[in-house]
Structure 1
Amino acid sequence: MNRVCLALPTNRACSATITALHAEAVHAARHFGADVQLLILDSADDRTRGEHTRTVAALPPHQGVTVHHYDEEAQRDFLRQAIRKAGLPGPDHLLRLMLPPAVSYGACTNRAFLLAAALGCDSVHRRDSDSTYQLHAGRPVFPVHHELPWLGRPAAEAAAAVTRADLDPALAHRPVSLAGASFIGELSVDIAEIRRLDEAVYHDVVGLWAPGDWPEERRRALVEESFTGAGTAAFTGDHSTLTLVDPMRVDMCNVAFDRAVYERVPLPPATDTIGSDYFLLHLVHDAGLPGILHNRHIENFHTPERRTDTGFPAYQRRFVKFLLSMLYFHDVYERMAAEGAGLLDERQRVRPDRIVTLLRESTAVDRAENIWRLDRVDTAYRKLGGRYAAFADRLGAEREGLLDQAARDIEDFAHLTECWPALIKAART
């Protein structure tokens, strides 16, 4: 029986999502015979977590579905044991990278990966608490329908089961390492207000996540595509493609990875940074590992706390840190793409040592491009006025610290990647 981890990291109220996720787990057990470990990693406040506990207690039991609901203290205890058993230096630093005091999209998913290893799972299927399933003919459209059958199996075996195969036959012996789709609905990044206020400013700001040397035409095309997912068209029927999956076509609220990927390389543990959980999408693509791209898109929505007086500057800071992180990630992605199959070992598994080297070398790039990014953000936000101008004032006081943090985040990622195989081994036992 295939044991899988259906994972939901959350720090907000999401009882409806937990109930819906359980329904997907039941679907996976009933229709695919899977042994589903439903994992809820709960970083919400005490009151909200209590609501979640009552929701979990009310879930109807189903054969093949086991629910795990861990608060941060339980997660911390598990991590301490794994880190101690791994015998790695700097255990306190590693614990902070795995369970930081601030929001980290990469770190919460890394905890799911490590717990999945401890639970003996073959794959991790990630969902988000600010999204929901589409309905078709009155029934939920569960992504697990495309994720379960082929992960970890040679791509050649999946070719006849998909709608379309767009894969070099020379790669057909490699394992299907990813299955995913995108989202419909609101932008994945909560910056639609900027577009409503000033279209030109929106293009200028969003274009800053492109490499600095891109021509304007290419940058503009990226802006038009960025954060839009699969648009707004509702699901009408299944379509799937066996391919090297374009990272721009998959969202981390709707993705599954084979263990041979996430047990080899973690995600960046950067805090207060959106987009820090997308690295493995690029790694799978650039290493030439096959995937299945399907169209069971999840419906995305934004929760209101990002627009409150405290939530707004915090979220905008995450967005700016994302822009700064791209100086280093573009350098790594470019060299991963050039290396291709060199990122794999003789068993077609990704090589952590190569990733560590690329990350560490990227920290030597000139920071001038990030100084330019901060200048452009400052100018753009002051044009918008109001709370955007106030945020620009705050950003000005943090400039040097943000530049240092962006580089330090990459160093931390390299360190965690170096330690990751030992952590996985410890978690398994």
Structure 2
Amino acid sequence: MQRVCLALPTMRACPGTIVDLAEEAAYAVATFGAEVHLLVLDTTGEAEFAKNADAVASLAPTPGVFVHHLGDAQQRDWLRRVAEGSGAADPELLLDLMLPKGVAYGSCVNRLFLGAAALDCTSVHLRNDDFEYQVRDGEKLYPIHPELLSIGRPAGQAVAGVTRSELDPADADKRVMVVSGAFLGELNVDIGEIRELDPQVYHDLVRLWTPPAWSDEDRDAMVELSFKGVGAEPFDTDESILGVPDIWKVYMCNVALDHRAYEKLPLLPSLDTLGCDYALLHALVHSKSPGVVHNRHIVNYYTPERKVGTGFVNYQLRYVKLLLSMLYLYPVYGAMWDAGSELLDDKHELKVETILGMVRDTFGADRSGNEHCLDEVDRAYRTLGGKYAELADVVAERRQQLLDEAQQDAELWATLIEAWAPMAAAARTQGLHPAVDGAAR
């Protein structure tokens, strides 16, 4: 029996999403005989938490589905035990990296990874709180279907569960480490308004996140691909491809990962930075680990708080920090690409020490590239005018802080990588406490 973790991080009230995920969990039990632990890690305030808790309490009991809903205080107590149990010299630092005060996309997923380990699950199936399922003939299209057909299986066996195989026969004994679909709907980075206001400024801003070493043609092609998912491509029939995935076809909003991947390498614990949750996908793809891409895409939508006022400024600053983070991430991703399958050990698992060395090599990176990036951001926002000109003022005021934080984020990632294996082991030993009444739902 597969024991899996269907995982949701949230910082807002999302009772409908919780109900939907419980239905997906029940589907996995009924279709595959899996044991599913629905893990909701919730950092909302008291009123929003109560709405989510009410949704959990309303779920009909389903044999084989176990629901765990942890608020901020419960997560902090549990993570403190894990950090201390790992034997780390500075458990308080690890606690801060795992549950910081602020939005940290990598940290919230890292918590889910440790939660899956604590629940003794063999895979984690990640969902967001701002998505919907596609529907065909009145039936929701659950991504967990193609995920459970392949995740964690030897690739040679997983061939039977896909519609097409591009697997190198030499990789038949390697396990499927990642299964992913894409998304429909709005861009997965909320900058569509910029494209509507001025397509050239949009192009210039997106181009800032492409690798500077690439040719102009390749950078422009990346602009056309970025943040769009599969556009409006509707579902017709199930399609899934086994092989080494294209990095452009794996998305953290719709993905399953094997425990031999996420218990090896954590995501960046960067605050207020979009894209910092993709490092593990890069490691798996560039190491030529087998994966499956499928077409049970989710539907992405935006929540309103990021559109106006401080919500707008805060979200757009996360995009700026994404741009600055690439000075430190692209050298790592490039080194991963160059290493290829040499990034895997004799058990076909990631060589963490090798990746750690790649990260450390970026610490002294020349900041002039990021200085230029902020100059271009300033020009672009002031060209747009209005609230974007006001945003430019905020970026200018925080310029040195933003430059420093980008470097610090790389250093803190290295710290977490060093501590990660003992933390995952401690999570398995500690278990997850408390679950919702300790009961199946």
Length-normalised TM-score, structure 2: 0.96
Q: Find the counterpart in structure 2 of residue 40 from structure 1.
A: 40
Alignment of structure 1 residues 112-191 onto 2, 5 Å: 112-191=112-191
Paired letter, 1:126: L
CA distance in 2, matches of 1:215, 1:342: 27
Q: CA deviation at 1:216?
A: 2.1
Deviations 1:358-403 (A, max 9, x none): 1011122211111111111000000000010111111111111111
Length-normalised TM-score, structure 1: 0.99
CA distance in 2, matches of 1:251, 1:178: 10
Runs of 5+ consecutive residues of structure 1 not aligned to the other structure: none
CA distance in 2, matches of 1:357, 1:309: 41
Structure with the larger RCO, 1 or 2 (CA within 8 Å, 6+ apart) = 2
Q: CA deviation at 1:341?
A: 1.8
1:5 aligned counterpart, secondary structure: strand
1:267 aligned counterpart, secondary structure: coil
Q: Find the counterpart in structure 1 of residue 61 from structure 2.
A: 61
CA distance in 2, matches of 1:392, 1:224: 25
Runs of 5+ consecutive residues of structure 2 not aligned to the other structure: 430-441
CA distance in 2, matches of 1:376, 1:230: 29
Deviations 1:136-195 (A, max 9, x none): 110100000000122122101111321111122222211100001110000000000000
Aligned: 1:319 with 2:319: yes
Range that drifts further, 385-394 or 209-218: 209-218
Q: Find the counterpart in structure 2 of residue 13 from structure 1.
A: 13
* Percentage of identical aligned residues: 49
CA distance in 2, matches of 1:201, 1:216: 16
Q: CA deviation at 1:31?
A: 0.4
Deviations 1:86-133 (A, max 9, x none): 110111111110000010110000001001111100000000001111
CA distance in 2, matches of 1:215, 1:138: 46
Q: Find the counterpart in structure 2 of residue 87 from structure 1.
A: 87
Deviations 1:11-70 (A, max 9, x none): 012111100000000000110000000000011111011011111000011011000000
Q: Do the aligned residues in 2 keep the contact of 1:7 with 1:40 (CA within 8 Å)?
A: yes
CA distance in 1, matches of 2:202, 2:427: 44
CA distance in 1, matches of 2:78, 2:242: 37
Q: CA deviation at 1:247?
A: 2.0
CA distance in 2, matches of 1:161, 1:125: 18
Q: Find the counterpart in structure 2 of residue 396 from structure 1.
A: 396
Alignment of structure 1 residues 6-405 onto 2, 5 Å: 6-405=6-405
Q: CA deviation at 1:352?
A: 1.4
CA distance in 2, matches of 1:16, 1:353: 42
Off by >4 Å, runs of 4+ in structure 1: none
Q: Do the aligned residues in 2 keep the contact of 1:176 with 1:292 (CA within 8 Å)?
A: yes
Q: Do the aligned residues in 1 keep the contact of 2:149 with 2:161 (CA within 8 Å)?
A: no
Paired letter, 2:308: T
Q: CA deviation at 1:249?
A: 1.1
Give the alignment's Cα RMSD to 1 decimal. 0.8
1:54 aligned counterpart, secondary structure: helix
1:362 aligned counterpart, secondary structure: coil
Paired letter, 2:365: V
CA distance in 1, matches of 2:10, 2:290: 29
Q: Do the aligned residues in 2 keep the contact of 1:356 with 1:415 (CA within 8 Å)?
A: no
CA distance in 2, matches of 1:381, 1:214: 25
Q: Do the aligned residues in 2 keep the contact of 1:133 with 1:299 (CA within 8 Å)?
A: yes
Deviations 1:258-300 (A, max 9, x none): 0000001111110100111111111111111100100000000
